[in-house]
Structures are given as structure tokens and as C-alpha cells.
Amino acid sequence: VTSDPSAAAEPRWLNEQELAAWRPFSGLMLKLLSALDAQLQRDADLSFFGYLVLAGLSEAPGRTRRMSELAVLSNGSLSRLSHAVATLERRGYVQRCPSPENGRITLATLTDAGYAKLVATAPGHVEAVRSLVLDVLSESQFQQLGQLATRILESDPDACG
Amino acid sequence: VTSDPSAAAEPRWLNEQELAAWRPFSGLMLKLLSALDAQLQRDADLSFFGYLVLAGLSEAPGRTRRMSELAVLSNGSLSRLSHAVATLERRGYVQRCPSPENGRITLATLTDAGYAKLVATAPGHVEAVRSLVLDVLSESQFQQLGQLATRILESDPDACG
DNA sequence: AAAGATTGACTTTTCAATCTTG
DNA sequence: CAAGATTGAAAAGTCAATCTTT
């Protein structure tokens, strides 16, 4: 994990200060994702991940993307995406077909019904994001949160994507 | 959602600035939890939630807590906890028994094996938290992250806990 | 009847194995 | 064989219904 031999020897626990920051943050992740999932499930019978899939497709040219690209956009594994898209396809929100150019590639396309579903679902979801997070922070605090998240995501060795 | 009649009329989407902060943050939550789960699963056959349950018990007097108290500590629903503890109990890490004082209450206790498991698991988990988050930020940035999380958790209307 | 907790059925996620095309 | 994606089985999570004690 580290190349410094002296650092490897000590266990390095979290001290009190660190714990006082880590606990709320990890708790926030768990609860916030639950809350977002619950809102979408209740109001639209959609998971947060499923919502991100529809949203990711809606912004693509031709409302179409390769599965592997879509997996990255929606922050999930290819396997997870494949299952999720299978469900969305059953419900008529997405269609898959092999790429004409390269037979290994699968292209997922948002159907009109899928686009309509997204349009119907977005306001409630956005409102949840606002009331749970955005309205709670000042503008600059929210920007800070985004910057901290970006820093963590970008730095990450190989685990965070 | 809001009591201001004029605010209820407009849909209130996320603007570009807001999106630029929200996307990395939501992505971070998804990926970070996955990474923590994966490390624990791989190295200790434990979920992050399961780890929090063991940790929550380890800090309690007599290594014992009521289920409902433990659910709050580990950021999950009582139902989720009940299933998780059932698994942990099967593996010998936890024991449940009805409270002698109040028969409705179930007390969960960390066994010696459970404590040993936690001690064996903690260093790897802490190292993951360090390398993924702590080492990436300055001390003050990490404190900021904790403060922002705390603010969100405390303000929350009723959804975050 | 309410509080505290568990259960069962269903859905989602994960991991490893597999399939298919280049 | 590697890249891109899917599949199946097992584990975890969610919701609603249920059970028990007060």
C-alpha cells in the first residue's frame, strides 16, 4: 500500500479528529443513497442507478451509448449495468442492439417511452437532491463539496474509478 | 416540500454549476461505498454494513446494544439490521437475547470471536479509508468534508436520519 | 393498540464463469 | 487470445406483513 518501510510498520488507526469527520461522512453516504433510492422507488419504481442509466443515455447523441461507456457514466460495473438495462428493456425504456461497425459492442438506446419516463421522473428526483443537500448548504459550501469529491475521485489510485 | 407558493410553481432544475458539483459527489458516494464493500468482502468476507455493526457493538458497554440503537449507529433500517445480525450470528460473531428488563427489546452482544474478527479486519479497512480518502486530502480539507456532512445530516428534514 | 423486532417474498447486486466477435 | 458484454447462482437489501411484549 505504501512504499515507505517505516510507515508500513505502524497500524495507523483513525484518531479522534479523523473519526469525528469520517463517521458523519460515511453515514451521509449510506443515508443519502438510501433516501434517493427510496424517493425514486416510491415515486417512479426506479433505482438511483437505473435513473442514472436513463439520464446518461438521454444526454448522448442519438440517445445511444455503448454499454461500457454507460457503465462508467453511471458509476457501476458492466455486470451491474447489464442486469439493470435488461430490466429497463423489459419495461420498454431502453433498447439494445449490437453495433453495426463492431459486433462485440452493444449499443443501448433510450426509447421514447424511456425519455418520457425520465422527464416525468426528474423533477421529483431533483427536488429530493435539493431538499436533502442543496438547500442545506450555502452555494460556496456546495461548490466546496463538489471540489472535495472531485479531488478524491481524481486522485484515487485504482479503486474509485 | 416548500411552503412558499411562488417557489412551488417553478420546476427548479439543477444549473450547470450545481451539476458540476453534484455529479462528482454522487459518483463519489457510489464508488466509495463499492470500494469499501469490495475490500471488506475480499479480505474479511464482511460487508461495510456488517463491519459497522461489529464496530458499533465493540464500543458499547458490555459490547451489547439494543437492536434499534444499533440500527441508528450503523445507519440502516431495523429490518436490514435484523437480517445482517442473523448472518453475523450464524457465523458466531454476535449473539442475541431478549432483554431481561423488557421482553420487547432484543440485546445484541459481540462475542469474543466477533471481537477478534473486528480486530483482525479493522487495519485493512482503515488502510482503505486512508488511501482512498484521507491521504488524498489535507487535514483541513478532511475536516471540512466532515463538517459539510454533519451539516447535511443534522439539517435533514426527515429523510436522512 | 403501540413499541420493538423479525420474517418472507421480491428485487438488486456481486462474483465468477461464459459466450461471442475481432 | 483479448475485448466487450451477458449470464446464473448466491448474497444483500427493501417493503410490507407479522409476531410478541407492554
How many Å apart are CA B87 and CA B64, to the nearest integer? Answer: 17
How many Å apart are CA B37 and CA B41, to the nearest integer? Answer: 6
Is residue A10's pLDDT more than 60? no
Is residue A3's pLDDT more than 60? no
**Grid coordinates in use for A57?**
443515455
Contact B145, A23 (CB under 8 A): no
Low-confidence residues in chain B, pLDDT < 50? 1-3, 6-11, 160-161
Give tens-digit pLDDT for B88-98: 999 999 999 99
Q: Which of A21-35, A110-124, A147-161 has the lowest mean pLDDT?
A: A147-161
Average pLDDT for chain A: 92
Give the largest Cα separation in chain B, rounded.
59
Q: Which long-range contacts (CB under 8 A, 24 or more apart) does A60-65 make?
A: A62/A109, A63/A109, A63/A110, A63/A115, A64/A107, A64/A108, A64/A109, A64/A110, A65/A107, A65/A108
What residues in B contact A18, CB-CB < 8 Å? Answer: 134, 142
How many Å apart are CA A160 and CA A146, to the nearest integer? Answer: 16
**Grid coordinates in use for A114?**
424511456
Q: What is the pLDDT of residue A12?
A: 59
Q: What is the pLDDT of residue A13?
A: 80
Give tens-digit pLDDT for A103-117: 999 999 999 999 999
End-to-end Cα, chain A, rounded Å: 17
What residues in A contact B149, CB-CB < 8 Å? Answer: 21, 24-25, 27-28
**Grid coordinates in use for A121?**
421522473
End-to-end Cα, chain B, rounded Å: 17
Nearest CB neighbour to A28, from listed B35, B49, B149: B149
Helix (H, G, I), strand (E, B) or coil at A150: helix
Sequence-separated (6 or more) residues with CB below 8 Å from residue B47: B37, B40, B41, B84
Q: How far is B120 from chain A (nearest CA, A)?
A: 11
Banded pLDDT at A136 (limits 50, 70, 90): very high
Contact A64, A105 (CB under 8 A): no
Helix (H, G, I), strand (E, B) or coil at A64: strand
How many Å apart are CA A121 and CA A36, to the nearest integer? Answer: 12
Give tens-digit pLDDT for B21-48: 999 999 999 999 999 999 999 999 999 9
Q: Which long-range contacts (CB under 8 A, 24 or more apart) does B78-81 make?
A: B80/B49, B81/B53
Q: What is the pLDDT of residue B157?
A: 59
Give tens-digit pLDDT for A39-73: 999 999 999 999 999 999 999 999 999 999 999 99
Paired sense of beta strands B94-98 and B106-110, if any: antiparallel
Contact B57, B109 (CB under 8 A): yes
Strand D: positions under 7 A of a protein C-beta atom: 3-9, 11-17, 20-22
How many Å apart are CA A9 and CA B126, to the nearest integer? Answer: 14
Residue B161's nearest CA partner among A132, A127, A129 is A132
Identify any residues that bridge with B66 across adjacent strands, giving them in sequence order.
B107
Identify any residues that bridge with B96 across adjacent strands, giving them in sequence order.
B108
Q: What is the pLDDT of residue A156?
A: 74
Q: Work out if A75's Cβ lies within 7 angstroms of strand C.
A: no
Q: Work out if A155's Cβ lies within 7 angstroms of strand D.
A: no
A76: number of Cβ within 10 Å: 21
